[in-house]
Amino acid sequence: MPKLRLSEKFLTTSLTCPDGKRRIEFCDTAVPGLYVEVRNTSPDQGTYYVRYRDASEKTCHVKIGRTIDIDLASAREKAKTLRAEIALGADPSAEKKAKRATLTFDTFWAEHALPYLRTMKKTAGKDDQRYRHRLKAQFGHLKLNKISRHALQAYHSGLRQQGLSGASCDHEIKIMRRALNLAVEWRMLDRNPADRFPLFREPNQVEHFLDENELGRLLMVLRNDKNRMVCQVVLWLLATGARLNEALQARWDHVDRTHRIWRIPALNSKSKRVRAVPLNDAAIEVLDALDTADKYAFLFINERRKKPYRNIAKVFLRIREEAGLPHLRIHDLRHQFASHLVSAGKSLYQVQQLLGHSDPKVTMRYSHLSTAALRDATDAASDALTRASKPTATATE
């Protein structure tokens, strides 16, 4: 931000934005706080602003006018007047701040909350779908400071009365709470009415673990189905315990065949951390069966479109029907991988690391499988006691 004594000649000949920059400020040394902003989209003209600090020491800007509409002398007089009013306690931006504080929730969601959430959450699109489905009609028209805790409570209870699960009801409130937290953080709202909101917190974990017979039927279909590429994706999920999105975005340069490691970049990982997945023999078999290594960057390619798969739901539905497993979901393949680990006596910590859970509480859903494995282990002690209690031939004689 160059500082100089502005002049009419400078304003006429030098209002240009440097190459590679979107905007530049030329600060006037004659009147502190006065500057001219020039944007690369509007060369040879600029806009006068006064910069100041409000009562909370926050930097604010008030617009005076464009250089093509007001001369320098008038801009300086206006800037001096504003600075005098500010010194006496006035806040020229108060009206703008008040207008911002009275945004409707729909405007706040569309212009502020959602753009931010899209940079922070991979599931922001699903949150937006939920918002447009129900929340918008209920709260979208209300001003931010008019959303009451009582209204949220009534909405939460009403959803339950309509037959929604407790988890679905809670998710709606969580979306509101997160958005209103942002409004408080950005000083658009004094307090969040959804703070410490009582939720139903009903368990909604649905898991379908395959027994040996069911797993055998699934593998039979996977080894014979005509859509070989999707079958390889499913086998990869069973062998690695990866999430579907992680598998579909897997690239050959992420795979280290020598050390048998698959590196999942932070961008593709739900935990937003780089994760290294050891590759077992079953995973190596999948790599050996693929013919995409020298042709494409990605492991799994849609042969018809010649591009990576974005979804395999349609083919997977057919595969599970052929295997006689109508309730099996794609995410259950990840649970199946975890069940194999726990049943083999692996600790929950090892399961957590292999599945990439950032919170050990998530891994605790498999604790009942660990208990079953421990119970089977204790049977060995029981068998030893049983054998010892039987009289031997020598003792009988």
| 314: amino acid identity, one letter | K
Q: Report CA torsion sign: 127, 130, 136, 139.
A: negative
Pick out the chain residues at pLDDT < 70: 95-101, 203-207, 358-380, 382, 389-397
Separation between Cα atoms, residue 80 and residue 94, nearest integer Å: 18
Q: What is the pLDDT of residue 148?
A: 95
Q: What is the pLDDT of residue 273?
A: 81
User: Shortest CA distance to 46 belongs to which of 12, 74, 21, 20?
Assistant: 12
Q: What is the pLDDT of residue 137?
A: 96
277, 227 Cβ separation under 8 angstroms: no
- Neighbouring-strand partners of residue 251: 298
Tokens 């089977």 belong to 376
> Where are any strands of DSSP class E within the chain?
3-4, 23-28, 34-39, 47-53, 59-66, 255-256, 261-264, 275-278, 301-302, 307-308
- Using the 8-state DSSP alphabet, how is residue 189 labeled? -
pTM: 0.55
Separation between Cα atoms, residue 78 and residue 64, nearest integer Å: 7
Q: pLDDT of 89-114, one tens digit each?
A: 888 877 666 655 578 999 999 999 99
C-alpha distance from residue 12 to each of 9, 21, 29, 37 (Å):
5, 20, 18, 14
C-alpha distance from residue 42 to each of 24, 47, 66 (Å):
12, 10, 11
Coil vs helix vs strand at 268: coil
Q: What is the pLDDT of residue 101?
A: 54
Q: pLDDT of 40-55, one tens digit each?
A: 888 889 999 999 988 8
